[in-house]
Amino acid sequence: MDLRGVSSLTDGELLALLLGDEAMAATLLDSYDGSLSRIAGEERTRLRMVGGMGLHRARLVHVAAELGRRIACANNEQAEVITSSEDVVRIMQPQLETLAYEECWVLYLTASNRLIERQRVSQGGISGTVVDHRLIVKRALELLATRLILVHNHPSGAAEASGQDRQLTRKISEAAALFDIKLLDHLILAKEGHFSFRQAGLL
């Protein structure tokens, strides 16, 4: 490993180093169809039962996954100018892809689409979350942001806009427009892909 570097290791080899057990690492990967993302998103109480991992090893996996997620988020924030919906997906996917519940975030931008701040504005259940459009606009005014992008996830895996999503988008767009703030897009991230209100002609 010292000669090749950790970047050359397979997923199984990395897990084996983390867990200290090659057979257990192989069992863990097999149990989740080789998906590190699914392993990272599994509940600790279930993870500890796989192959007799136990609580300590399950915690190690979750700590490693959280460390990787935070590093990915920090790296993505360095891409400070938003030029497309793909930029937003790259920035927000590490934050949202493994969650089993909905979260809604707002990206606050300057007139030149430079990212000022990203903020979680609500956290909810499996099928929905409550968002206060007044707080979103208030924060935009505090930051002197002139553009917004709304992002939330669908844990169900369906990358499509519900009636509630459409209503929320319209409400935030209208509230922001009163202060000459433009809602550029509302993106829904899901396991099967993403949905952009702007690309769909809904903004």
For the chain of 203 residues, list the mean pLDDT of each consecutive stretch of 10.
Answer: 64 83 85 81 81 83 78 61 90 86 93 92 69 91 95 87 91 95 95 91 91
Determine the pLDDT at residue 143: 93
CATH label, 9-73, candidates 3.40.50, 2.40.33, 1.10.1060, 1.10.150: 1.10.150
For the chain, residues classed under CATH 3.40.140.10 are: 80-196
Q: What is the CATH number of domain 80-196?
A: 3.40.140.10
Q: Note if the pTM is more than 0.85.
A: no
Neighbours of 131 (CB within 10 A): 20
Q: Is residue 85 within 8 Å of residue 196, measured between CB atoms? A: yes
The residues pairing with 182 across neighbouring beta strands, listed in sequence order, are 147
Instruction: Give me the residue label for tokens 């099967």.
Output: 192
Mapping DSSP onto H, E and C, the string for the chain reads CCCCCHHHCCHHHHHHHHHCCHHHHHHHHHHCCCCHHHHHHCCHHHHCCHHHCHHHHHHHHHHHHHHHHHHHHHHHHCCCECCCHHHHHHHHHHHHCCCCCCEEEEEEECCCCEEEEEEEEEECCCCCCCCCHHHHHHHHHHHCCCEEEEEEECCCCCCCCCHHHHHHHHHHHHHHHCCCCEEEEEEEEECCEEEECCCCCCC
In this predicted structure, what is the pLDDT of residue 74?
Answer: 64
Q: What is the pLDDT of residue 59?
A: 86
Provide CATH 1.10.150 ranges for the chain: 9-73
